[in-house]
Amino acid sequence: MGSHHKRNEGLKPIRRTAAKPKPEKKAKAPQRDESAIQLLQLQQSFLDHLSTLFHPTLADDHYDKKLQAIKGHFFRREYAKVFNDPASCIIYSVRYLPSRSFAYAELFSQRPILDLLYPRPPPRRPSERTKALVLPRKRVVAVGAGVGSELCALHLLNQSSRAQLDEDDEDMKAVLDHDMQIDIIDSADYEVFLTDLNVCLSQQLSQESSSEEIVRTRLQFNYYRHDILKWSTSTEFAAILADTTLLTFMFVFNELFAASKVETMRLIAAIAQNLTPGSHVLLIESAGELSQVKLDRKRVTFDQETRLADLEGEHEEGEEAMHEQQQKSLMVYKFWDHLPGFEKVVSEDRRWYRLDPSLKYPLEMENVGYFVRLYRKAA
């Protein structure tokens, strides 16, 4: 990676927040601007629709016990025991989908990710405005996204972006109206759940929209039920990668490495080979120890030039030091940070999404902490 690339560039919000008022004798609640109020209303409407959709699961008297069992599987990294069981998948979704949807939507709403999904057209002369804009189709490929958070986040992003539009911004409205495709790849049986979820979100959109511009979400989704580690070398996945705008791995790489380190490295190699230059990869994971992978430094390589030793950032000498390093723990993003042919665009080792305390949902929702990396496939 060239030295001219910024190594710690963060995401940039599309609007600056107002400066905090100076402290007064009596503390006052912070004043929300109009866009913040609209976003909060949108989020609460989203939660209300989810509560209705998830009512049968939430009404289960044994829900809490089942959720605790799922948490135990995650602590022991027994991911297959959760995601190979359709009932556990739904229990997991009901618990974690809302907060992660909000966190992802916020992430998508900030540059440079926003510019990938909804790029602002260049200014046009009045004489040019009679012609329709020629807009490329955007395609998001979300691996391990059967829970539905990425799908929800894109719906929320579209609605919140519309709410912030100026009335006369016809070109940007055309961008938001333009079709976007999301391909969801997951090994679990989520297709019926995602279809119901998409209908629920579309109903919310039709209720929130004005009667003049209803009733289409402009978000098309396809579901591929495959084990990505087995499917990574297929011609179908290669064709998808060749037409991808943004490839996402949201809280999934830990599961992949837990399943098979060798096959996960093969997946990374397939992405590096088949992703079109200019396309992007978005990676987020927990910011703590759960995102560390233990590897044998003698066995794992990217290619002949980039070995695991290069990722460690140091080369200790001596037989004893070499023995100690044979089992090395690395954060999962290290496998991408040093991957030849990719530029690191965004790098944040710890980021938080904090929920508004006024939001109401039948279950307690938690803030979401994670690291984020955005990579661009170089030409």
> What CATH number did the domain enclosing 231 receive?
3.40.50.150
pLDDT of residue 229: 96
Q: HSE-up of 83 (CA within 13 Å, CB side)?
A: 21
Q: Is residue 18 part of a domain?
A: no
> Cα separation of 34 and 46, whole Å?
18
- Strand, helix or coil at 174? helix
pLDDT of residue 288: 58
Q: Is residue 19 part of a domain?
A: no
- Strand, helix or coil at 17? coil
- Strand, helix or coil at 242? helix
> Cα separation of 351 and 284, whole Å?
10
pLDDT of residue 209: 54
Q: Is residue 331 part of a domain?
A: yes
Q: Which backbone phi and psi does 354 adopt, to 5 degrees?
A: -110, 125
> Cα separation of 60 and 66, whole Å?
10
Q: Is residue 355 part of a domain?
A: yes
> Which domain, by its residues, includes 252?
34-119+135-377
Paired tokens of 344: 């690191």
Q: Is residue 5 part of a domain?
A: no
> Cα separation of 173 and 104, whole Å?
22
Query: What is the total count of domains within the chain?
Result: 1
Closest by CA position to 376, among listed 247, 270, 284: 247
> Cα separation of 166 and 148, whole Å?
30
CA torsion through residues 284, 286, 290, 294, sign: positive
pLDDT of residue 308: 39
The answer to whether 303 and 311 have CB atoms below 8 angstroms apart is no
pLDDT of residue 101: 96
Closest by CA position to 195, among listed 225, 215, 162, 227: 225
Query: What pLDDT tens digit does each residue of the chain (379 aa) get?
Result: 444 444 445 665 554 344 445 555 555 555 567 878 889 999 999 999 999 999 999 888 888 898 888 888 877 877 777 777 778 888 888 988 999 999 999 999 999 999 999 988 877 777 677 677 778 889 999 999 988 999 999 999 988 888 888 777 777 888 887 888 999 999 988 888 999 898 888 777 666 554 334 444 467 889 999 999 999 999 999 999 999 999 999 999 888 888 888 899 899 999 999 999 999 999 998 865 555 555 555 444 444 333 434 444 433 444 444 444 445 666 677 778 888 899 999 999 899 999 999 999 999 999 999 999 999 999 7
Paired tokens of 228: 């990505």
Q: Is residue 3 part of a domain?
A: no
Sheet holding 180-186, edge to edge: 219-225, 180-186, 138-143, 246-250, 280-285, 368-377, 342-353
Q: Is residue 278 part of a domain?
A: yes
Q: Is residue 165 part of a domain?
A: yes
